[in-house]
Structure 1
Amino acid sequence: MKVRILEDGSGLLDGAPYPSIGEEVELPSGLAVSLINDKRAEVVAEKAAETRETAAAAAPEKRGPGRPRKSA
């Protein structure tokens, strides 16, 4: 899973030196989910199409104008 690092760290991450803030790295899904849950990383969309699909799915559907008002 591809993630963007949000916090600085030290030591090794998946056998490599800990990436810098803002760096995008490919990690095993278990490790990536752990970092995301700890707010130390965020998911990076693989393709522009994925970003458009998720944005369209997140947008609420607009409702129609509704019933006409009652006249007095």
Structure 2
Amino acid sequence: MNVRITEAGSGLLDNRPFPSVGEEVELPAGLAISLIHDRRAEAVAEQAAETRETAAVAAPEKRGPGRPRKTA
């Protein structure tokens, strides 16, 4: 998962030196979510090509008109 670091840190992050503020890094989902919940990072949008593919797949199927309404 791609995240952008919003707060400075020290030590190691995923066995690499902690990235600087504003840097975008690829992290495992669990670690990325943990940093997002701690407000130390924010999620970065996926690339446009991937988003279009996802949007096309996620569109629900259209259904028919259904049953006629009951009259009083």
Give the structure-2-normalised TM-score: 0.66
Matched, 1:9 2:44: no
Identity %: 71
Matching residue's letter, 1:31: L
CA displacement at 1:47 relative to structure 2: 1.1
Unaligned runs of 5+ in 2: 56-72
Kindly report the root-mean-square deviation, in angstroms, between the aligned alpha carbons of the 2 structures.
1.6
Give the structure-1-normalised TM-score: 0.66
Task: Tell me, in whole angstroms, the C-alpha distance in 1 between the residues paired with 2:47 and 2:28.
Answer: 19
Flag as ranges the 4+ runs of structure 1 deviating above 6 A.
none
Matching residue's letter, 1:3: V
CA displacement at 1:46 relative to structure 2: 1.6
Unaligned runs of 5+ in 1: 54-72
